[in-house]
Structure formats: C-alpha cells, structure tokens
Amino acid sequence: MKVLVLNGPNLGRLGVREPDVYGHQDLHQLAEQCARWASELGLDVEVRQSDDEAEVIHWIHEAVDHHHPVILNPAAFTHYSYGLADAAAQLHTAKLPLIEVHISNPASREAFRRHSVISPVATSTITGLGFFGYKLALEAVSELQQ
Ligand code: DQA
C-alpha cells in the first residue's frame, strides 16, 4: 500500500530553518528515514513537500481518488487553510487515515500555533517528537490497515 507523506510550506528548509526548533536534519534525510521505516512495515511511501497550498490540496485529492492513506505536516497551513481542511475532510469521508504530524509542539509555542483547522478531520495528531513523529504515524497507518 502506498502512503503519501505530505509536507507544507518551509519544510523544504529543514536543517537550516530554526534548527533549535526543527533540528539539524534536512528534508532529504526525513525522506530517507521515512522510506526505511515504511519498508520495515511493508508500506510504500512517497515523501513530498510544497510551499504551494493548491499543490498540497491537489495531492490530497489524489490520495482520495487512489485510496492512499496520508501523513500530513501542514506546517503554517495548519493554522488557517480552510481549503486544505476541506480537502482533508474528503479523506475523512472516504475513511482513509489522515495522521497530522508536527515536528515541534505547536501548543507550547506562539498563540497562533495553538489552533489547527486540520485536527478536527484528522484521525490522529502527533506533535513535538521531531522526525520520530513520522515513524509513529507510519506505524499508526500500518496498524489501522490491519
Ligand atoms: C510545524 C509547526 C507549524 O506551526 C509551523 O508553521 C511549521 C512546522 C511543525 O512541524 O512543528 O512550519 O508544522
């Protein structure tokens, strides 16, 4: 089964962007780790990143149409993108897992990060565990498929 791991804006800057918050590893390393974790679970994974809201929305549509579970770090879109939330709701309707992941713990940061418009339609939300959160999300997808 193919799982889409979708990353929103500025996550292409991992490694150089606020390393005290997001760590020193880059997106390429995240993709490598996700591929390894997925293969251990017998899953196929595709890790993508975009700064473009429309592109991420189209990827969610693709997941709905092709029945792919989604692991989504919506990054800043988390806090205001009703367009992305409406796309994510279609995964919910299709009973496809949507695991929302945040590298940091947004609840412990600025006030604007405390609200997620995605969480109400997510199967689960994992925060504050760095890249390990993606591993837990892959395990959750695997578990939910049993
Ligand atoms: C983030 C948290 C968001 O508030 C922020 O806008 C990001 C990354 C995280 O992974 O911790 O870009 O989603």
- Long-range contacts made by residues 51-56, C-beta under 8 angstroms, separation at least 24? 51/8, 51/9, 51/10, 51/12, 53/9, 53/77, 53/81, 53/83, 53/84, 56/6, 56/8, 56/84, 56/87
**Per-residue pLDDT tens over the stretch 30-56:** 999 999 999 999 999 999 999 999 999
Of 24, 58, 68, 102, which one is the catalytic site residue? Answer: 102
pLDDT value of position 146: 75
Q: Is 103 annotated as a binding residue?
A: yes
Quick check: 99 pLDDT over 80?
Answer: yes
- The domain locations on the chain are 2-145
pLDDT value at residue 131 = 98
Mean pLDDT of 68-75: 98
State the pTM of this model: 0.97
Indicate if ipTM > 0.85.
yes
CATH number of this structure's domain 2-145: 3.40.50.9100
Ligand 1 centre and the CA of 146: distance in Å?
A: 30
